[in-house]
Amino acid sequence: MRTVDEVRATLGAGIAVIGENYVQEAEALQAALGRQAAEWHLIGHLQRNKAKDAVRLFDLIQTVDSERLAAVVDAASRAVGRVTPILVEVNSAREPQKAGIAPEDALDLVRAIDRLESLRVVGLMTMGPLVAAPDELRPAFRVTRQLFESLRAVAFARSRIEVLSMGMSDSYRVAVEEGATMIRVGTALFGSRQAPPART
């Protein structure tokens, strides 16, 4: 977890969006810094039992990858009277161990979510595979960009495909070259996350 002082310093330097992997860590930071200190994005996997908290804490949820999860987030949003913007997470590299919908199934998922009154799809997100060099991510990024462009051409009732979130601290340059409109660079700003101490 990033410390309150680390995040406060980042906000003071002009960063306006904070991405968090974990609901509980965002809750702790907001308790110290205030909800309005920044725009908060959930960039880690969302468990369905955390949907109510996620809707309360985050301005954008970047990791919706199924109709089942979307329905839970929609219900949580409706319960508090808000419309929650989301990104659909795409598993562009087709890694079986990672979350995200297959590229060929993304259109059907967006159409299904588009029918939900309390969610709005505003774009796509992808996590690139672990590779030896950032250039090796180009194929996955390119697949996501092509999907992004094809979805932008579809006339949805509620969804507006405007955000393409891909690339992290070691790959953001390649991601931007491949069309990213949003990057996730926490490690570049804060350094590597420290593993929690082992319990004895």
Q: Which helix (H) or strand (E) holds 184?
A: none
- Report the pLDDT averaged over residues 63-86: 98
Which tokens is 174 given? 């390649």
Distance CA 187, CA 23 (A): 19
DSSP string, 120-177: EEEEEEE-PPP-SSGGGGHHHHHHHHHHHHHHHTS--SS----EEE---TTTHHHHHH
- pTM: predicted TM-score of the whole model, two decimal places: 0.90
**pLDDT tier at 2, thresholds 50, 70, 90:** confident
Query: For the segment 123-141, what is each residue's pLDDT rounded down to a tens digit?
Result: 999 988 788 888 989 999 9
Distance CA 43, CA 184 (A): 9
Going by DSSP bridges, is the β-strand pair 39-42/84-90 parallel, antiparallel, or unpaired?
unpaired
Residue 159 has pLDDT above 60, yes or no: yes
Residue 21 burial (C-beta neighbours within 10 Å; 0-12, 13-18, 19+): middle
Residue type present at position 165: S
Residue 23 has pLDDT above 90, yes or no: yes
Residue 172 has pLDDT above 90, yes or no: no
**pLDDT tier at 197, thresholds 50, 70, 90:** very low
Give the residue from 162, 160, 183 showing the smallest Cα distance to 172.
183
Phi-psi region at 100: left, alpha or beta (left = phi > 0; alpha = psi -120 to 50): left
